[in-house]
Structure 1
Amino acid sequence: MKLYSKYFRRYKQPFFIAVLCVTLEAVCDLLGPTLMSHIVNSGIEKGSLTKVYYWGILMLIVTLIGACFAVARNILASNVSQRMGADLRADLFEKIMSFSEVSADKVESGSLITRMTNDTSQIIQFVNGMMRIFLKAPVVCIGSMILASLLNLRLSLIIYGVVAVVTILIYFSMKISYPRFYQLQKAMDQVNSKVQEYLIGVRLVKAFGTFGKETDKFDEANQNLMQKGIASQMVITIISPLLTLAVGIGTAVVIYIGSSLFTMNLANTGDITAFTIYMAQILTSLIMITNVFTMFVRTKASTARIGEVFDCEEDCLRNNENRKLSGKITFENVTFAYPNGSGVPAIKDLSFSVNSGESLAIIGPTGSGKSTITWLLLRFYDVDRGKIILDNYDITMLGADEVRSNVAVVPQKPMLFSGSVADNLKWGDKLADIDELRHAAEKAQADFIMQMPDGYDSILGSDGVNLSGGQKQRLSIARGILKKASILILDDATSALDAVTESKVREGLKNKEFNQTLIMITQRCGTAMSADKILVMENGRNVGFGTHEELMESCEVYQDIYHTQIESGREA
């Protein structure tokens, strides 16, 4: 209810107008059988054509008025539900964008897509149905029972019995359906995740020839979704005929007992006719209520899943200040383990310091914690123990946005977006002019841009599918340079470049136009040797820190890397 109250306050005026229209429409529907009884009793039975015309025209007018109210509430329901859906999707997207890395790790992207689309659509349908049907059906049902009681109390007892039976059936339907619909939504998550994985890795699937295996995995998820769908619909499939049967039996009993009462002059033809119509209205209302409750059960599951997104932890958020940091970095006895991971620390008791304007290379074997340092510097995660200090500020005292405005990251796997080359570069600086774009591209050795058909206006496919790996990395480096941040991190960002191009990129970064701290995470000893300082990592620990010459004398791990890469290369 907390989720709906926010949007209810926003659209309460059209909602109440819709409620009024629904109520008046229901009143018009309820008057129909009563007017019909007057036509039969006052007109047909007494042979008065005038009374037939009078009550018939009145019934037609009431029906037309009800139709006008129906059109009005349909327009309002569609308008409010669609606007609410748009607001809900916008709020969800904003929430997802503010996810902490812990939250991003917890909820799969395929599940988020399902929640943004299918679950949101389910809520839109429910709100629309609630304004159109749910508010009308109880009014018609209760009103039919009251008016039927006023016509003939004896016959109305049959209606009460039918409604009691139907209420019990609806209760058990809801109780059984909810867990099944929740499992249905989870099964839909799995299908979306499988499709997303295939689309992201389609080239790898083709390269390894694992299409059959991927098809089997999708078929398994698809079959699971089908089974969950059948299980969730099975309850409705059984309950709906039972409801119809209950009301049908009630109608038959009304006609049977009504005929007996008619012979005893305790009921007239018009009353029995009106009762039959009221029973039909009650049947229609009960079926509507059942459908709404079924929709409610599905929506309850969708609401819970969307609520889980809104309850997720956000980034350690914004600070109104926007300090420009100098780029000095200090790690003091930092220990960190990934949340929801194995529990083994990725970094253990790590300490080092880099002054503003210096370059630091971080080298070590795979899984030694090199990239984790990047995530901690960006405040994707906070440390378990110890401190990270930027300039003289504990990083936990700075807002996440403030930290990230001072740090530029070039990841090993560059992420490019559909749009022009210029659009992708301007992620670094949205106000950059063409001269700044060219200057950054020159430093990153991205001269291939001018060889593209439209230069900086050339359109890239999603994830830069029309570029090679090396071209993607150079564009990503240019984007990082363009940000002009105090700290520039290259996370193995030159792995797809040849030695000559990488050397030119490093030279371009050395010719600094402002005092920038450069961190290079690398597997290459040749790259590390060009830095002012080198941090050697192994199993999350600092096993060496200093210049190349100092490490060649004091650090066995670094010596092994050097002998393996440099000397073996020379011998080759």
Structure 2
Amino acid sequence: MLPAAPRHLAGRILHASKSPLFVSQCLFKPTFSALAQAAPGPSQSARLAGSIGASARSFSTRGSNLSATPRHGGGSQLLRFIASSRRPALIARHVRQFSASPLRRDDSSKEVTHEKEHHLHDSKTEFGRSEKASKAAQVNLSARLRKDPGTTGFSGFADIWRLLKIARPEAKWLGAAFLCLLVSSAISMSIPFSIGKILDAATASGEEGTLFGLPMNQFYMALAGVLCVGAMANYGRIILLRVVGERIVSRLRTLLYRRTYTQDAEFFDANRVGDLISKLSSDTIIVAKSITQNISDGLRALVSGAAGLVMMLYTSAALTGVMSLMIPPIGIGAFFYGRTIRNISRKIQKAIGDATKVAEERLGNVRTSQAFAGEAQEVGRYNKQVRKIFKLGVKEALASATFFSTTGFAGNITILAILVFGSQQVKSGAISIGELTSFLMYTAYAGSSLFGLSSFYSELMKGVGAASRLFELQDREPSHSLTKGKKIESAKGTITFEDVVFSYPTRPAVTIFEGLNFSIPPGSNVSIVGPSGGGKSTVSSLLLRFYSPNSGRILINGMDLEELNIKSLRRKIGVVSQEPVLFSGTISENIAYGKPNATREEIVQAARRANCQFISDFPDGLETYVGPRGTQLSGGQRQRIAIARAIVKEPDIIILDEATSALDAESETLVNEALQKLMQGSTTTISIAHRLSTIKRSERIIVLGADGRVAEEGTYAELTGRDGAFSKLMESQLGGGPEEEREVVMARREMDITEREADEAERIREEEERIREEEEERERREREGEESARNAEESDDEAEVVRERVKEEEKR
């Protein structure tokens, strides 16, 4: 909006300009764009509208002489438009119309530059924002997992405690590992004390003495045995913690994968798959490491540091006081370093999730990228994500380098101070050479323990950053449970939509259905048609309970879907989608996915009913590997396997979501034959279709309107006989200019092909019947011939017997 001070100046600019409308657009367009795109609330919109109106009226008063000159008509038109606006909706609509209107200039003007600017402006605003786009901009992403979940408590100690609770089932093994830790740490801390005593004994005058009542040789042997025990304890600690860590990773991944799979469709609409994969892979490893190996290292540093401090006090309290001066600044630095590392770690995990998402999506569609020669573009897109991770890694490296170099310098200065002060202590006889050596070693142990605690804290903060992302997924409850509700025994009843109002959770302002009403009788074959974006596929999503209506009811045999067990309902529904999804595995595994306990015979029968004869062309038959997403098969082959998967399920309701729209004519013919077999019997079939051949085969057609209601319904003959929504829809798809005329011709050819296919199928059936009858006649004749031959043989045998008897009689 123009401030009060420059308004008069704006009027003078408009007055002096030969193209006032163009200048006006430049002056007011930022305000209009902000108002049209921000979609503010009613009260804010009213204030903005009032402010613009007041500014415009003041501007119009001061520059009223603009309207006196014809060439300033554009500026006057703009001022009148602003001053007359009172409602935000009108302002936004006029702004869009105004932005789309061509700029005017005086006919006598020769401003070629202005025309170029106007052309450039139009090329950038080729598509204006519709009212539906403004509604769609009101996005609800409440189901999206936060990129950087906050922590509760001081430095996230609440999350730290919850992080430690993950290891509770492994408490017994962690206790054994902690015991091994205590043994190995105690033995390690005894080494400086022993070395000090050995040096004192070595520098003492006289005969070889004893240590702890043992001769020196025996003491050395005993010390070697103690060190072996320490090594064994350290081995036990490491192996126990590694095994426990792997168990925790496995349990976390299984738990989170199960939790992810139980989420509702709204969750997957709002979250990217790459982020979820990152949580299941890298985040779980970081969390497991934080509560096993990292805690072990932290406890070891804590025990070693505490034991070293006690031994330093025992050796020399004065030297301990000098050394302890460095503990507070290092501790404070470690605290802030840990917080910095935690924040950077969260950002790194988010960037890794983004990179994983890019790689998963692009590599999953690598053929499309290669077809458009987009390899370099995709590599560049992935490198962009990698560079983000690299920059964050550099920040982490700088923070680590700054902290550890500073603390290392401080530790070296501390050792130097101890040497200076300790040498004075040795000269004065306060301590011995061996005690000073032991103290220096304990100082090194304590310093390394302090560094270990700093590293432990930073790694723990990384674990907290990763765990907070996992906890958010673990704590999210889906909007509806998959296992609660009444189990349905049969779904063969009438399907009824009663006053259904629905909008997708992520786009609540865009209403898909507004009082949708229709019913589908059991065992019928119904097609649902409508304009693009009219909600045809949404019907199947509602029937499968991926979403719930905002209001109204969906009934099956009089039972409300909201009261039914979702799993039992989905077991009664088979789905064949436009893009069939096959899983990496064999053909038999993909068919049996519809019925995990299916027998081999059931799989074979389902494949035959789905016209999957192509399986016999594969060397491995049903055990042929289909590749990731079925990439080793053609589109028609994948579709027929998807149909077999639905057939083996023996569903009460089958949903065909444009199952043949992406197939060629030959594949479509085979798939349609398979669908015909699938639709036989008492199964209720719902076809989401736009192919004329599919629509004509339906018993009833439900036409959805653009207003979210049923426009009309009836048989194909009834709807084509009316001048209604269905006829207009067909005209919009098949009528119009040359391109549309070709579509009409193709549609007619498709109808002719369908009729010829039916005639050909009938001819084939008659030919098969004739061949079968001929085979039966041939078999009958063969049986009669065999019987005649047997009779002839029997007659010959009887004649031979008679002749023998005659001969015997003659002899007598």
Q: What TM-score do the two structures reach when normalised by structure 2?
A: 0.67
Cα distance 1:280–1:121, how it changes in 2: closer, same or farther (>3 A)?
same
Give the equivalent residue in structure 1 for 2:615. Answer: 449
Amino acid at match of 1:197: E
Q: Residue by residue, what CA displacement relative to the aligned partner does 1:91-126 show, whole Å, maximum 9, x if unpaired?
A: 122112212112222331111211111111212322
Rounded Cα–Cα distance in structure 2 between residues aligned with 1:31 and 1:90: 44
Give the equivalent residue in structure 2 for 1:341. Answer: 507
Contact 1:360/1:519 (8 A) holds in 2: yes
How many Å apart are 1:138 and its aligned residue? 0.5
Amino acid at match of 2:483: R
Give the equivalent residue in structure 1 for 2:655. Answer: 489
Cα distance 1:452–1:531, how it changes in 2: closer, same or farther (>3 A)?
same
Give the equivalent residue in structure 2 for 1:518. Answer: 685
Is 1:545 aligned to 2:704, yes or no?
Answer: no
How many Å apart are 1:57 and its aligned residue? 4.4
Q: Residue by residue, what CA displacement relative to the aligned partner does 1:294-323 show, whole Å, maximum 9, x if unpaired?
A: 211211111111112212333522048542
How many Å apart are 1:416 and its aligned residue? 0.8
How many Å apart are 1:555 and its aligned residue? 6.4
Rounded Cα–Cα distance in structure 1 between residues aligned with 2:464 and 2:171: 21
How many Å apart are 1:475 and its aligned residue? 1.1
Rounded Cα–Cα distance in structure 1 between residues aligned with 2:510 and 2:574: 28
How many Å apart are 1:525 and its aligned residue? 3.0
Is 1:393 aligned to 2:393, yes or no?
Answer: no
Q: Residue by residue, what CA displacement relative to the aligned partner does 1:460-496 show, whole Å, maximum 9, x if unpaired?
A: 1111111111111111111112111111111111223
Q: Residue by residue, what CA displacement relative to the aligned partner does 1:404-459 show, whole Å, maximum 9, x if unpaired?
A: 11111111111112222111111122333344333323332322222222322222
User: What pairs with 1:365-444 in structure 2 (closer than 5 Å)?
Assistant: 365-444=531-610
User: What pairs with 1:61-140 in structure 2 (closer than 5 Å)?
Assistant: 61-140=225-304
Larger mean CA deviation between 76-85 and 97-106 belongs to 97-106
Give the equivalent residue in structure 1 for 2:441. Answer: 277
Rounded Cα–Cα distance in structure 2 between residues aligned with 1:503 and 1:561: 23
Give the equivalent residue in structure 2 for 1:323. Answer: 488
Cα distance 1:555–1:525, how it changes in 2: closer, same or farther (>3 A)?
farther
Corresponding residue to 2:673 among 504, 524, 529: 504
Give the equivalent residue in structure 1 for 2:386. Answer: 222
How many Å apart are 1:141 and its aligned residue? 0.6
How many Å apart are 1:346 and its aligned residue? 2.7
Give the equivalent residue in structure 2 for 1:535. Answer: 702
Rounded Cα–Cα distance in structure 2 between residues aligned with 1:176 and 1:433: 58
Amino acid at match of 1:393: M
Which structure is richer in relative contact order (CA contacts within 8 A, separation 6 or more)? Answer: 1
How many Å apart are 1:46 and its aligned residue? 4.5
Is 1:184 aligned to 2:184, yes or no?
Answer: no
Cα distance 1:263–1:435, how it changes in 2: closer, same or farther (>3 A)?
closer
Give the equivalent residue in structure 1 for 2:178. Answer: 19
Corresponding residue to 1:360 among 500, 506, 526: 526
SS of the residue 2:553 aligns to:
strand
Contact 1:103/1:312 (8 A) holds in 2: no
Cα distance 1:529–1:2, how it changes in 2: closer, same or farther (>3 A)?
farther
Contact 2:245/2:293 (8 A) holds in 1: no
Contact 1:441/1:478 (8 A) holds in 2: yes
Cα distance 1:256–1:525, how it changes in 2: closer, same or farther (>3 A)?
same
SS of the residue 1:495 aligns to:
coil
Amino acid at match of 1:40: L
SS of the residue 2:575 aligns to:
strand
Amino acid at match of 2:170: Y
How many Å apart are 1:43 and its aligned residue? 4.8
Rounded Cα–Cα distance in structure 2 between residues aligned with 1:406 and 1:525: 28
Is 1:252 aligned to 2:434, yes or no?
Answer: no
How many Å apart are 1:65 and its aligned residue? 2.4
Q: Residue by residue, what CA displacement relative to the aligned partner does 1:116-143 show, whole Å, maximum 9, x if unpaired?
A: 1111121232233235311110111111
Amino acid at match of 1:443: R
How many Å apart are 1:292 and its aligned residue? 1.6
Amino acid at match of 1:258: G
CA root-mean-square deviation: 2.2
Larger mean CA deviation between 522-531 and 396-405 belongs to 522-531
How many Å apart are 1:227 and its aligned residue? 0.8
How many Å apart are 1:364 and its aligned residue? 1.6
Rounded Cα–Cα distance in structure 1 between residues aligned with 2:221 and 2:410: 34
Is 1:474 aligned to 2:633, yes or no?
Answer: no
Give the equivalent residue in structure 1 for 2:305. Answer: 141
User: What pairs with 1:292-331 in structure 2 (closer than 5 Å)?
Assistant: 292-314=456-478, 315-319=480-484, 322-327=487-492, 328-331=494-497
Cα distance 1:55–1:537, how it changes in 2: closer, same or farther (>3 A)?
same
Amino acid at match of 2:266: V
Cα distance 1:6–1:407, how it changes in 2: closer, same or farther (>3 A)?
farther
Contact 1:363/1:524 (8 A) holds in 2: no
Amino acid at match of 2:386: N
Q: Residue by residue, what CA displacement relative to the aligned partner does 1:314-348 show, whole Å, maximum 9, x if unpaired?
A: 35220485422233311111122222236312333
SS of the residue 2:292 aligns to:
helix
Cα distance 1:433–1:176, how it changes in 2: closer, same or farther (>3 A)?
closer
Percent identity between the two aligned chains = 26
Q: What TM-score do the two structures reach when normalised by structure 1?
A: 0.94
Corresponding residue to 1:41 among 191, 200, 205: 200
Larger mean CA deviation between 495-504 and 375-384 belongs to 495-504
Amino acid at match of 1:508: K
Contact 2:253/2:280 (8 A) holds in 1: yes
Which has the higher Rg, Structure 1 or Structure 2? 2
SS of the residue 1:11 aligns to:
helix
For structure 2, which runs of at least 5 residues remain unmatched after alignment? 1-159, 735-742, 750-812
Contact 2:338/2:454 (8 A) holds in 1: no
SS of the residue 1:351 aligns to:
strand
SS of the residue 1:460 aligns to:
coil
Larger mean CA deviation between 417-426 and 314-323 belongs to 314-323
Rounded Cα–Cα distance in structure 2 between residues aligned with 1:36 and 1:519: 86
Rounded Cα–Cα distance in structure 2 between residues aligned with 1:521 and 1:47: 104
How many Å apart are 1:518 and its aligned residue? 0.8
Corresponding residue to 1:236 among 392, 400, 410: 400
Rounded Cα–Cα distance in structure 2 between residues aligned with 1:285 and 1:478: 65
SS of the residue 1:88 aligns to:
helix
Is 1:558 aligned to 2:723, yes or no?
Answer: no
Q: Residue by residue, what CA displacement relative to the aligned partner does 1:226-259 show, whole Å, maximum 9, x if unpaired?
A: 1111112221111111121111111111111111
Rounded Cα–Cα distance in structure 1 between residues aligned with 2:699 and 2:715: 6
For structure 1, which runs of at least 5 residues remain unmatched after alignment? none
Q: Residue by residue, what CA displacement relative to the aligned partner does 1:529-552 show, whole Å, maximum 9, x if unpaired?
A: 222221212334322223223433
SS of the residue 1:135 aligns to:
helix
Contact 2:695/2:701 (8 A) holds in 1: yes
Contact 1:247/1:279 (8 A) holds in 2: no
SS of the residue 2:515 aligns to:
strand
Rounded Cα–Cα distance in structure 1 between residues aligned with 2:406 and 2:354: 34
Rounded Cα–Cα distance in structure 1 between residues aligned with 2:498 and 2:206: 102
Contact 1:409/1:489 (8 A) holds in 2: yes
Q: Residue by residue, what CA displacement relative to the aligned partner does 1:174-198 show, whole Å, maximum 9, x if unpaired?
A: 1222211111111111111111111
